[in-house]
Amino acid sequence: MTETIQAPQISPAGFDLTPPSRADRAGLEGGLSREEKEVLLHHGTEAPFCGGLLDNKEDGVYCCRLCGLPLFRAKTKFESGTGWPSFFAPFDETHVRAVRDDSYGMIRIETRCARCDSHQGHVFPDGPSPTRLRYCINSVSLQFVANGQPLPDPLGRGDRIA
């Protein structure tokens, strides 16, 4: 089966949201650890209070671990006490997709990367002002980039500096 070439889908922040090709996706997935695969590809959850980015206080951007798309800015991170990094707003509303999740006998809103569809975590309506949202995200789903450093660009799309 041949893949059709799609016109780039550009976010308001200027990032290409076009999903990776099958070949590109296979290359991205090949570099993941077992834990990263479990969370990003199979919608798992890392243990609370264990993630490497939970206590990060540096200024910068949190990007998707799989495709490198910027998902959250450090200035929107807050201490929620839940055991996972929490943010009150995405980098760009179009970079994070919301999907109904009715697993485990409850209704939640799962958050996924809008470019590669990898699982990031969930969003809840109990966050701080101004949004009152809490994006509860797995550390293993993210890659932190300090201000002034190049963003990860594993798809070669020319993503900019944080």
Residues labelled as active-site residues:
136
φ and ψ at residue 53, rounded to 5 degrees: -105, 0
Pairwise CA distance, residues 39 & 3, whole Å: 27
The separation between CA 63 and the C-alpha centre of its own chain, rounded to angstroms, equals 6
| Order of strands across the sheet that contains 60-64 | 70-73, 60-64, 142-146
Cα angle for residues 73, 79, 83 (degrees, 5° grid): 105
Per-position DSSP letters for 67-115, written without gaps between them: T--EEEEGGGEE--SSSS-EESS-SSGGGEEEEEE-GGGS-EEEEEETT
